[in-house]
Structure 1
Amino acid sequence: MWFPYNTPQSIPFNTSFAIDSMTQFQYKLPSIVMATAVKPMNNVSLDFEVDIVDPTLQCYIYLHFSELDTLQENEYRQFNINLNGNPWLEASVVPNYLSSTTTYSTVPVRGPKLKFSINKTENSTLPPILNAMEVYIVKDFLQAPTDQEDVIAIMDIKVSNGESRLKWIDRKDISFNG
């Protein structure tokens, strides 16, 4: 579910053009979501926090960008992203016109508050933007997803119907605990 998130000290803007209409973008972001963005009031840094509450939770963050403005020859938009005061990415982001660009965490992040700062680079003539953000919280399951007794019962049924256990179990992702 996508919902608007009002970042403090930001200005919303949008386009009436479709985003990613000519390409099949791997994240399949809704065009209506990507057609909106925010930019900072100060034209330099877009700062916001994500409250996770429980500092032990692990999160994966995806930030989505799309250039909504037709840039003039003397205009350029480029920015860096910091998380909790540290660089989040090795490279700067340059959003593509009407096409999605996604950055994401390759390792989980944690903390009660994740403080993002999207900063205009020295080369940039335009402020940073943000179109959409996704936060995935890792959920640890305390018990196995399948009860071992259910696996044994299914295998017994298969064997009683004349199929060998080895023939039926041909997947490498099935494991037994005992």
Structure 2
Amino acid sequence: MVKRSPDFGGAARPASIVWIALAVAAAIGAPVTYVLGKAALERNAVAREENKVFTQDLTVDGAPCPSWTAAQYAAQPLRAKQVFSFDMIDFGRRFGHVECGVAGMHGADKLGERDVCQFTGPAVLEIKTSKGSFYFAPGVGVPATVSVQHGVPSCVMASKYRLPGA
């Protein structure tokens, strides 16, 4: 079958040329997408290994942070406006600074790794994982440490993280 170009009676083009062009684009695009995706996963794995620390460096004892439901969080005036992603988890805070790492679990439980973020004084925290959204309210100026294991965060009102020079 031959189609005519709509522009001023242009030359005839076989319809199959369009399909051939699409097939060539797919044949080139799929491997490129695979290679770029694999490279991104490898970079993430390297970054995880570089950020891995021993549990004792990130273990913090403290009182549990007050937690909120989504409705309680929506009803209060402070929002977690500073949002960042670490290891495919979204962490939101209102104030302060943060430092994150991956802690290897050692000892009797040997449950694997967990992501740990230590905050200088976040006021409120909104954590989004594959398991849902979680809300904590340590308070203004109160340091906090959030540990996420298997998609479920826990929060204590204490942190070892200090700003350099502080």
TM-score (norm: length of structure 2): 0.26
More helix per residue: 2
TM-score (norm: length of structure 1): 0.25
More strand per residue: 2
Greater RCO (CA < 8 Å, at least 6 residues apart):
1
**Larger-gyration structure (1/2):** 2
